[in-house]
């Protein structure tokens, strides 16, 4: 795994680089899904994946770049934990007028992180995915692009803001990505039905309502539909003290076998209740 980026990291911060390499070796030795996950992380951390040309990922990146500049007015219903006035679905009296450009640039994951989601879907080939927090559909498109590559699987993505959900549906249609359904409504209202629809769940991405209790509740709900070997990703795990606590509880949950702490994102692989746990953390150099 010698490439220019790795070589540079080794020069800039040899101690951190060697710590990371040690962790990746530990993952390789464990075998099974841990070995696979280590392979994905090694590829992603070394930026090697950037040399790959996937036209759909380039299209998503371009569309996001254009959307970041968009002056399209949006009556934003903010359901996130950042807004104390949690708005009930459809109550536009508390909506704030803003632009699509501001929303996309502040709230959606840039290309680098999206690439990780794509690599995970391509590697683990989940048949079912749930996403909490569609926004304008960029991470959704990346997950759906992974399913398209696999030619298998379906994705349900949940979004509270109807205008954003509509924009996401249009973006997904423009990108010709199917295998995905965007459902509008509060997570608390839509998650149970979506989980019922997907039945057994193999992959989940929680990227909305970054509140300690809410995150733990969504995680528990999702877990009830997971077999050992499912992947659950929680975003913004260092965003607040509450989110740090939520992540600590998630990664040590008795149904978790492996946890990866990437500071901004946390990934877990589910296991048999009470089984052995392996925890890893990586610092982005
Ligand atoms: C951080 S953004 C998602 C970004 C998206 N995953 C991406 O990277 O492209 C979080 C989204 O979750 C939605 N959201 C937050 N809390 C919610 C809730 N309780 N119910 C429904 N939607 C919610 C917000 O409206 C927002 O669009």
Average pLDDT over residues 15-30: 90
Q: Map residue 50 onto helix, strand or coil.
A: helix
pLDDT value at 127 more than 70: yes
Query: What is the CATH code of the structural domain delimited by 108-281?
Result: 3.40.50.150
CB of 79 closer than 6 angstroms to any ligand 1 atom? yes
Locate the domains of the chain by residue range.
55-105, 108-281
CB of 153 closer than 6 angstroms to any ligand 1 atom? no
The pLDDT tens digits for 197-227 are 998 999 999 999 999 999 999 999 999 999 9
Residue 246 contacts residue 237 (beta carbons within 8 Å): yes
**Per-residue pLDDT at 94:** 62
The pLDDT tens digits for 70-116 are 999 998 886 766 554 444 444 556 678 899 999 999 999 998 899 99
Residue 223 contacts residue 213 (beta carbons within 8 Å): no
Atom of ligand 1 nearest to the CA of 107: 1
Residues sharing a CB contact under 8 Å with residue 88, sequence separation 6 or more, in sequence order: 186
pLDDT value at 1 more than 70: no
The residue assigned the tokens 């508390």 is 94
Window from 47-61, 67-81, 101-115, 260-274 with minimum mean pLDDT: 47-61
**Mean residue pLDDT across the chain:** 90
7 CA to middle of ligand 1, Å?
A: 37
Residues sharing a CB contact under 8 Å with residue 224, sequence separation 6 or more, in sequence order: 195
Average pLDDT over residues 183-202: 95
Residue 267 to residue 251: CA distance in whole angstroms = 8
- Determine which helix (DSSP H) or strand (DSSP E) holds 281, and give its type and residue range: strand 278-281
**Per-residue pLDDT at 50:** 55
Alpha helices in the chain (DSSP H): 4-12, 14-30, 32-45, 55-68, 100-107, 111-124, 138-150, 162-174, 187-198, 212-223, 241-251
**Per-residue pLDDT at 91:** 54
84 CA to middle of ligand 1, Å?
A: 15
**Per-residue pLDDT at 219:** 98
Residue 144 to residue 243: CA distance in whole angstroms = 27
The residue assigned the tokens 């048949």 is 127
282 CA to middle of ligand 1, Å?
A: 25
Q: Map residue 219 onto helix, strand or coil.
A: helix
30 CA to middle of ligand 1, Å?
A: 35
**Per-residue pLDDT at 88:** 47
CB of 108 closer than 6 angstroms to any ligand 1 atom? yes
Does 46 or 131 have the greater pLDDT score? 131
Atom of ligand 1 nearest to the CA of 189: 20
208 CA to middle of ligand 1, Å?
A: 4
Share of the chain above pLDDT 70, in %: 91
**Per-residue pLDDT at 85:** 47
Average pLDDT over residues 136-144: 98
pLDDT value at 238 more than 60: yes
**Per-residue pLDDT at 81:** 61
pLDDT value at 196 more than 60: yes
């Amino acid at each position: 795994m010698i490439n220019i980026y790795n070589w540079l990291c080794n020069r800039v911060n040899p101690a951190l680089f060697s710590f990371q390499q040690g962790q990746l070796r530990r993952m390789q030795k464990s075998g099974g899904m841990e070995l696979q996950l280590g392979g994905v992380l090694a590829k992603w951390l070394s930026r090697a994946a950037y040399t790959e040309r996937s036209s759909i990922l380039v299209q998503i990146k371009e569309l996001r770049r254009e959307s970041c500049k968009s002056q399209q007015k949006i009556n934003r219903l903010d359901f996130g934990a950042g807004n104390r006035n949690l708005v009930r679905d459809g109550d536009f009296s508390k909506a704030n007028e803003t632009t699509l450009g501001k929303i996309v640039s502040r709230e959606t994951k840039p290309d680098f992180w999206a690439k990780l989601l794509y690599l995970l879907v391509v590697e683990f080939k989940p048949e079912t995915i749930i996403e909490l927090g569609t926004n304008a559909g960029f991470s959704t498109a990346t997950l759906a692009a992974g399913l398209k590559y696999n030619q298998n699987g379906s994705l349900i993505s949940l979004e509270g803001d109807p205008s954003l959900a509509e924009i996401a549906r249009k973006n997904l249609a423009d990108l010709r990505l199917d295998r995905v359904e965007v459902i509008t409504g509060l997570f608390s209202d839509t998650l149970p039905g979506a989980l019922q629809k997907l039945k057994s769940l193999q992959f989940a991405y929680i990227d909305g309502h970054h509140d300690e209790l809410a995150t733990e509740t969504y995680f528990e709900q999702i877990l009830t539909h997971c077999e050992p070997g499912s992947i659950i990703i929680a975003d913004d795990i260092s965003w607040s003290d509450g989110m740090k606590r939520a992540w600590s509880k998630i990664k040590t949950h008795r149904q978790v076998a492996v946890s990866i702490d990437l500071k901004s994102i946390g990934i877990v692989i589910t296991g048999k209740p009470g089984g052995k746990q392996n925890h890893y953390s990586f610092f982005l150099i």
